[in-house]
Structure 1
Amino acid sequence: MKLATLNDGTRDGRLIVVKRDNSAYAFATNVALTLQAALDQWDALEPRLRALAEELEAGRVQSRPLDVSALLSPLPRAYEWVDGSAYLNHVVLVRKARNAEPPPTLKTDPLVYQGGSGTFLSPTQDIPLVDEAWGMDFESEVAVILGDVPLGTQAKDAEKHVKLVMLCNDVTLRNLIPNELAKGFGFFQGKPSSSFSPFALTPDELGPAWKDGRVHLRLRSTLNGQVVGDTDAGPEMHFSFFDLLQHISKTRPFTAGTILGSGTVSNEDRARGISCLAERRMIETIEAGGPKTPFMKVGDRIEIEMFGPEGQSLFGRISQKVVKP
């Protein structure tokens, strides 16, 4: 099942069900007005949404042509946005970029931060950049939307709490982060509004690609028309979504509608490319003594997409241009 949120001029939009080929949609508002409303009663409403999706595929319900530019992020705002850093190659490279050592618990204790969740950008919305000196970067990620998660949930029991899967552009202002971290109190200004893919899928839509709490597919990042990354999101995700879920629920529960991110998808094989510019800059530093690639500037466009085995765009395309606000 593929869900999305249509921009109807309200803060939270209207829930729609989307055809598998992304060509058309049907309103789901007779089941739930918004995606958050559906998540709040997921066990009761999910079967009705699936039935509607089947009717849409069979052409037995009124549908409308889909214009991706009319969509908000699946959750235009969320109760919480928690992002991990599950790809160890990314952790190592980015830490080197700011002359910091990886934590001694790198392989045993996941890194997470809590970002702002009240003003997500839509998947085709411009990214405002006040000052290019801030060092804007994209970060191509996989994310999941959770149902209610009890305190102390274990990884072996986590799968039932993952309701939907989507993609993310976790925008980062790299040059603001070192001074923030030097205060010993984490990210804040260095993490502006993120955006998410047009569509959120139930895990079963991914078939065998959804395995052990990971999405075993390639994630493509295209910057200014050039493919810069075709990274494999599966094997090198050291901490699965189930591991991350166990980690974050150690001391508190989470409510339905919480978004959990994988962190930047990263592969040791450099032929796979990059999912953020910080990695390319670090590789340039290692190989040539200093970075050559600039961070994003006004006018740049980043596109993020994931394809199924038959070449279909599963989550739709994040396509955003950097602009002066």
Structure 2
Amino acid sequence: MKLATIKDGTRNGQLAVVSRDLKTAQLADGIAPSLQHALDDWNFIAPQLDAVYERLNAGRGINSFEFDPKNCMAPLPRAYQWADGSSYVNHVELVRKARNADMPESFWHDPLMYQGGSDDFIGPTDDIALLSEEWGIDFESEIAVITGDVPMGVKVQHASEHIRLLMLVNDVSLRNLIPAELAKGFGFFQSKPASSFSPVAVTPDELGDAWKEGKVHLPLRSTWNETLVGQPNAGVDMVFSFPQLITHLCKTRNARAGTIIGSGTVSNKDPKKGYSCIAEKRALEMIANEGQATTEFMKFGDKIRIEMLDKNGKSIFGAIDQSVVEYSAS
């Protein structure tokens, strides 16, 4: 099943069911007004949404319309919680090596995770509006899951039962603000502006055999200014699976329906797979060139497209397709 949130001038938008080929959609307002509403009563509402999905795929949708990602908000326009992990330890290792920082051995068995802002997500084709290029604007291509209610202390073997949906993420980062923030010892804040999400969120079964062991075994494509710069396989070199990330999050707390958990920047050890963020490209340059990086961060007018294709070359989530622009207060 594929679900989207259509812009309607409100904060939460309108929940819609989208066909498997991403061509048509049908509003689900008679079933659930929003995705959060559906998540809050998933066992009752999901079967009703799935029935709409089957009719859409059979060409029997009621009041269906052409699906256009430009009309989409993030699937969850705002969420109760957004926690981003760093499952691809290769990425962490490269970035730390570039600045001659040792990587604690614990990073290989104890996940990194931070809690980001979740009150104002960006739609999949909306501009990334920022005040300054000097902040070091970077994209980060990731995958995320949305959970139902998860109890504190959940065991990893049961954590996958609580995964409701998956999405793609552009976890925008402001690299030049990060060092000073981390030096305070309190973590990311201003260096992590609003994140963007794919047009649709999908149930795990939509991934077929690509979804196994709590990982998505498909390449994640990042195209920067019309150039494909990365296509690492998200199932390769992922040290911590989504069930492990959920277990880590819930060690000391419950997670409520609508919690979003990110994978962190998708990264493969094979450099031929490219990169999912500019920081990793710069790290490789610094390691090779005595601390000197040549690739610049994003500028106003730059474009970024993030997408995942199935084994038949069909888009699964639709594409995050955005431009970076200078923010102007209205």
- Same fold by TM (over 0.5)? yes
Q: Which residue of 2 aligns with 1:292?
A: 294
Q: Which runs of 5+ in 2 are unaligned?
A: none
SS in structure 2 at match of 1:247: helix
Q: Which residue of 2 aligns with 1:115?
A: 116
- Structure 2 letter corresponding to 1:178: P
- Aligned mates of 1:190, 1:198 — CA distance in 2: 24
1:34 deviation in Å?
0.3
- Structure 2 letter corresponding to 1:179: A
SS in structure 2 at match of 1:208: helix
Q: Confirm or deny: 8 A CA contact 2:98 2:287 kept in the other structure.
A: no
Q: Which residue of 2 aligns with 1:222?
A: 223
1:121 deviation in Å?
0.5
- Structure 1 letter corresponding to 2:30: N
Q: Which residue of 1 aligns with 2:61?
A: 61
Q: Confirm or deny: 8 A CA contact 2:265 2:276 kept in the other structure.
A: yes
Q: Confirm or deny: 8 A CA contact 1:281 1:293 kept in the other structure.
A: yes
**1:75 correspondence with 2:76:** yes
SS in structure 2 at match of 1:167: strand
SS in structure 2 at match of 1:72: coil
Give CA deviations for 1:85-118 in whole Å, capped at 9, x if unaligned: 0001101112234443222301110000000000
- Structure 1 letter corresponding to 2:258: G
- Aligned mates of 1:170, 1:205 — CA distance in 2: 23
Q: Which runs of 5+ in 1 are unaligned?
A: none
Q: Confirm or deny: 8 A CA contact 1:129 1:323 kept in the other structure.
A: yes
Q: Confirm or deny: 8 A CA contact 2:98 2:284 kept in the other structure.
A: no
1:236 deviation in Å?
0.9
Q: What TM-score does the superposition give when structure 2 sets the normalisation length?
A: 0.97
Matches within 5 A, 1:117-196: 117-196=118-197
Q: Which runs of 4+ in 1 moved over 3 A?
A: none
Distance 1:99 1:192, change over 3 A: farther
SS in structure 2 at match of 1:232: coil
Q: Which residue of 1 aligns with 2:42?
A: 42
Q: Which residue of 1 aligns with 2:303?
A: 301
1:177 deviation in Å?
0.7
SS in structure 1 at match of 2:248: helix
Distance 1:101 1:285, change over 3 A: same
Q: Confirm or deny: 8 A CA contact 1:139 1:170 kept in the other structure.
A: yes
- Aligned mates of 1:75, 1:124 — CA distance in 2: 15
1:172 deviation in Å?
0.3
1:297 deviation in Å?
0.8
SS in structure 2 at match of 1:218: coil
Q: Which residue of 1 aligns with 2:259?
A: 258
Q: Confirm or deny: 8 A CA contact 1:35 1:74 kept in the other structure.
A: yes
Q: Confirm or deny: 8 A CA contact 1:97 1:278 kept in the other structure.
A: no
SS in structure 1 at match of 2:49: helix
- Aligned mates of 2:206, 2:11 — CA distance in 1: 28
- Structure 2 letter corresponding to 1:31: I
- Aligned mates of 1:103, 1:149 — CA distance in 2: 29
